[in-house]
A and B are shown apart, each in its own frame.
Chain A
Amino acid sequence: MMQQLMETFKAEAEEHIRRITQMILALERGEVNQEMLEELFREAHSLKGAARAVELNDISAVAHKIEALLSALKSGDIPFSDDLADLIYEGLDGISAMLGDEEFNANEFAHKVDSFLSVNEKAKSGEKIKPDDRFSTELTPSHKAGRSMMYVDISKLDRLMERVGEIIAAKISGEEYLRSGYHILKEIERIHRKFQEERRDGVERLERIIGTYRDFLDDMESICRNISRLSDELNEDVKSLRLQPLSILFDSFDRMVRDISKQEGKKVRLEKIGGNTEIDRRILEELREPLMHLLRNAIDHGIERPQERVKAGKEEYGTIRISARGHGDRVIIEVEDDGRGIDLERIKETALKSGLIEETEEMSEEEILSLIFKQGLSTSSEVTEISGRGIGLNAVWRKVESLKGTITVHTELGKGCRFTLSLPLTLMITKVLIVEVNGDRYAIPASYIDRTLRIKRSEMVEIGDRSFIRHNESLVSLIPLSALLELEEGDIGEEIRVLILRFGGRAVGIMVDDLVVEQDIVVQGFSRPLVRIRNVSGAAISSDGRVLIVLNPMDLVRTACKLGSTSISPLLQKAKPKTILVVEDSITTRTLERNILESAGYNVVTAKDGVEAKEMLRRASCDLVVSDVRMPNMDGFQLTSWIKNHPDLKDIPVILVTSMESEEDRRRGLEVGADAYFIKSGFNQEELLEMIERLI
């Protein structure tokens, strides 16, 4: 609770600091009005009170001193001056530092303020500031009129986005199932036609079932479509929650511009336009550094010293304009200055000298200009403290490109310079787990990963030449990622790292060499000529600039089922997976059994009762039958008997599975020739799979 209170206070304090800063900056520009002076005092007062309420006494003390300064200012006891502004900024910076758990000597500050006040109040006879109500500074409002706002923990938003990602994955899975449902309908209709031809019993019943089933599928389809629409809308809504106005950045630049221009001895005015343009929070954060660098550059290299400007017939104050506007699905941000512009000749010279280019004859203006973004170019004769520090234009360019944006520059020598950034509104961000196999890294979308495990070799269960592990009271087949990706298989050590992937009701355990890290990345899909790659869904640029392949979990699960799992011995390419016929009238049990068997690498066909089973056996070649006993139309015993007496099918092993436990039934089962008899309540998957393995 205290934690939450702190978070709330921090946010509130930052807001107070922001507003005070803006107003002081306005004062420095000469825009003064009485209301603002009152407002300034109130802000400091509120800040002091809030800090006291959460018992942050140091912060409260500093705020108190700032309040004192502002009170004196408000009542005209002290004049407004550069020194006053500096002092207030010092206090604000101190509070920010303390909020960030850094040290700040509050006592020293208090002394400074006290002596400042006594010195300046003595000079009361001096100029008092004359508030002029003609000026009313427009501050970026923290409360939009009529809308109530709320502070939200960013990590909650991120989790929300993850959930939405999972919903979409589930939706896709549902659609897959629906498609299979329609396939099954086709099968049934085919059987129906056959029954009609052969004039069999039960045709009408079958027709009724087909009708019911089709209605069911159609209902499912409209439900799926509805879910699809809702999840897409949800996705858009959540994405928009992540949009924040650029004013958050722009306002923070005021101080910086003021401080640097002072340092450089230049007079600079910062204009901000379009701060209410919104962009994805993540992009916003990433833009901070590049934009700050562009501004520093503009002040350092662009804007001339006041005397120079006047000599050139310009205003003493240089203007830097930073603006933002939306343009379709992109946001355009511009940093423009009316300074001395970029000297193309010097760029050519420097580029030649640094060996970046050989000849410059055929280069257009655009091409020469774009050189400034290349690595290794610097046109300032000395590396000043400001532009030497931090990142260069090349880094700005790379950062913008990594955000899928572009940056261009226009200039007119003597008149000024304009940098234009074009950025996408949002980024598709996916949380992935990065794994390592054979020394290479791959990313797997986290929403498909049930969990990750580290197991010992001894914990693996081997049945035949397949491996499994126990997970949530069931067996999950294990397969190395290297096998799925058709890479060389490495050695498996004592400790094995496993990811449990889940898709479409199936779970597969993927063995990897190492689990590296969980990360948010921006996934780029491949495009022509790589239209669709097996097991791969796209790629991303990792933080070290390399390409990271992002795998497709749905494909991986499917591939795993196709290949069957593998044990430590090398993967045997099976000529053809074995087919098992599952006969069971309960859909749930049938699906469960089918999933278990498919995950173990078998091909599975199903039948709802003995009659269908006979049909299936006639048509498809099956290697084994797993059948329930109690079923309508033809029970398990009759089926087994039929199979064992059929000249072509008698060699097919039959396993009977039943919920009935009676000596009588077991004996009956053996009599009809069943190869094994399992009781559902006592049955565990391991035994079943082992038995199957033994029989085929």
Chain B
Amino acid sequence: MRENAELILKQRAHLYARPPEEPEPIDRGLIAVFRIGRMRLGFDVKFIDGIYRLGTITPIPCTPPFILGAINVNGRVCPLIDISALMGESAEEDYRVVVMIRSDGIEIGIPAADILGVEGAPEKLSKPEAGSIGSNEEFIDGITQDGVLILNLEELLKGDRLIVMEEV
């Protein structure tokens, strides 16, 4: 009887003694974090074409407030999108750099106050609290544990949020 028990126990031990599973290598992208107004926003690096000093901005009349204006990027006229204004905050005065974003032929510039750093893409993303900034925006994927709002740039560029299409 005892032999049996030992055998059974050994078998069970065998069964349960498996090498730990290799954690799946997470293909982590890189997120660049910027300060825009009082928010910290993360952009996926693969959409960033370049970061330039923000020079003279030419305002574009008859556009919504989140269109800050246009700038000259290598001889091309590029629109500037004020993310602060887009999310209902006031347009910021302390922008120093512009982040050039490009996806599928669409190009925009997003002004920012500070470049905070680059980090690996977050493992866990939660939805922003209802009523807080970014809680009901399609182009916000979520908020990290540190409070960085992750922007879905593809949605921003290809979705309808930014579209200006008005006749007289």
Interface residues of A (CB under 8 A from B): 398, 401-404, 440, 485-487, 524, 526-536, 538-541, 545-549, 555, 558-559, 562
Q: In the complex, what residues of A have CB within 8 A of residue B163's CB? A: 528-529, 531
Q: How far is the CA of A38 from the CA of B2 in the complex (A)?
A: 123
Q: How far is the CA of A548 from the CA of B60 in the complex (A)?
A: 9
* Interfacial residues of chain B within 69-123, with CB under 8 A of chain A in the complex: 69-72, 74-77, 79, 81, 106, 108
**Residue interface mask B155-166, A partner, CB < 8 A = 1:** 001000011111
Is the CB–CB distance between A547 and B70 below 8 Å? Answer: yes
Is the CB–CB distance between B165 and A531 below 8 Å? Answer: yes
Q: How far is the CA of A529 from the CA of B161 in the complex (A)?
A: 9
* Interfacial residues of chain B within 127-168, with CB under 8 A of chain A in the complex: 157, 162-168
Task: Assess A559 versus B162: contact at CB under 8 Å? Given A404-B75, A529-B79, A529-B106.
Answer: no
Is the CB–CB distance between A524 and B76 below 8 Å? Answer: yes
* Interfacial residues of chain B within 49-78, with CB under 8 A of chain A in the complex: 56, 58-63, 67, 69-72, 74-77
Q: How far is the CA of A107 from the CA of B62 in the complex (A)?
A: 67
Q: How far is the CA of A23 from the CA of B64 in the complex (A)?
A: 64
Task: Assess A547 versus B62: contact at CB under 8 Å? Given A401-B74, A526-B77, A539-B70.
Answer: no
Q: How far is the CB of A282 from chain B (nearest CB, A)?
A: 15
* Interfacial residues of chain B within 20-70, with CB under 8 A of chain A in the complex: 56, 58-63, 67, 69-70
Identify the interface centre among B58, B62, B70: most chain A CB within 10 Å of its CB. B62
Q: How far is the CB of A596 from chain B (nearest CB, A)?
A: 20
Is the CB–CB distance between A532 and B166 below 8 Å? Answer: yes
Task: Assess A529 versus B164: contact at CB under 8 Å? Given A486-B62, A549-B61.
Answer: yes
Q: Which residue of A lies closest to B78 (CB)?
A: A547
Identify the interface centre among A398, A529, A548: most chain B CB within 10 Å of its CB. A529
Q: How far is the CA of A524 from the CA of B56 in the complex (A)?
A: 18
Is the CB–CB distance between A548 and B167 below 8 Å? Answer: no
Is the CB–CB distance between A529 and B162 below 8 Å? Answer: yes
Interface residues of B (CB under 8 A from A): 56, 58-63, 67, 69-72, 74-77, 79, 81, 106, 108, 157, 162-168
Q: In the complex, what residues of B have CB within 8 A of residue A538's CB? A: 77
Could you list 8 examples of A-B contacts with CB < 8 Å?
Answer: A401-B74, A526-B77, A528-B106, A529-B162, A530-B164, A533-B60, A538-B77, A540-B77
Q: Which residue of A lies closest to B58 (CB)?
A: A547
Is the CB–CB distance between B77 and A524 below 8 Å? Answer: yes
Q: How far is the CA of A272 from the CA of B76 in the complex (A)?
A: 31
Task: Assess A547 versus B72: contact at CB under 8 Å? Given A533-B60, A536-B60.
Answer: yes
Q: In the complex, what residues of A have CB within 8 A of residue B67's CB? A: 530
Task: Assess A546 versus B167: contact at CB under 8 Å? Given A404-B75, A541-B75.
Answer: no
Is the CB–CB distance between B61 and A486 below 8 Å? Answer: yes
Q: How far is the CA of A168 from the CA of B168 in the complex (A)?
A: 21
Q: How far is the CB of B16 from chain A (nearest CB, A)?
A: 46
Q: In the complex, what residues of B have CB within 8 A of residue A546's CB? A: 56, 58, 72
Q: Which residue of B lies closest to A550 (CB)?
A: B77
Is the CB–CB distance between B168 and A562 below 8 Å? Answer: yes
Is the CB–CB distance between A532 and B167 below 8 Å? Answer: yes
Q: In the complex, what residues of B have CB within 8 A of residue A534's CB? A: 62, 166-168
Q: Which residue of B lies closest to A531 (CB)?
A: B165
Is the CB–CB distance between B106 and A539 below 8 Å? Answer: no
Q: Contact partner of A535 among B59, B62, B70, B74, CB < 8 A?
A: B62
Q: In the complex, what residues of A have CB within 8 A of residue B72's CB? A: 541, 545-547
Identify the interface centre among A534, A536, A547: most chain B CB within 10 Å of its CB. A547
Q: How far is the CA of A524 from the CA of B76 in the complex (A)?
A: 8
Q: How far is the CB of A219 from chain B (nearest CB, A)?
A: 29
Q: In the complex, what residues of B have CB within 8 A of residue A545's CB? A: 72
Q: How far is the CB of B80 from chain A (nearest CB, A)?
A: 10
Q: In the complex, what residues of A have CB within 8 A of residue B70's CB? A: 539, 547, 549
Task: Assess A530 versus B63: contact at CB under 8 Å? Given A402-B75, A541-B75, A547-B77.
Answer: yes
Is the CB–CB distance between B61 and A536 below 8 Å? Answer: yes
Q: How far is the CA of A9 from the CA of B41 in the complex (A)?
A: 67
Q: In the complex, what residues of A have CB within 8 A of residue B69's CB? A: 547
Q: How far is the CB of A437 from chain B (nearest CB, A)?
A: 9
Q: How far is the CB of A279 from chain B (nearest CB, A)?
A: 17
Q: Contact partner of B79 among A486, A526, A559, CB < 8 A?
A: A526
Q: Contact partner of A530 among B71, B79, B167, CB < 8 A?
A: B79
Q: How far is the CA of A183 from the CA of B23 in the complex (A)?
A: 68
Given A533-B166, A539-B58, 12 additional A-B pairs, CB 8 A = A440-B58, A529-B79, A530-B67, A533-B60, A533-B62, A534-B62, A536-B62, A539-B70, A547-B58, A548-B58, A555-B168, A559-B168
Q: How far is the CB of B51 from chain A (nearest CB, A)?
A: 13
Task: Assess A549 versus B60: contact at CB under 8 Å? Given A524-B77, A529-B164, A541-B77.
Answer: yes
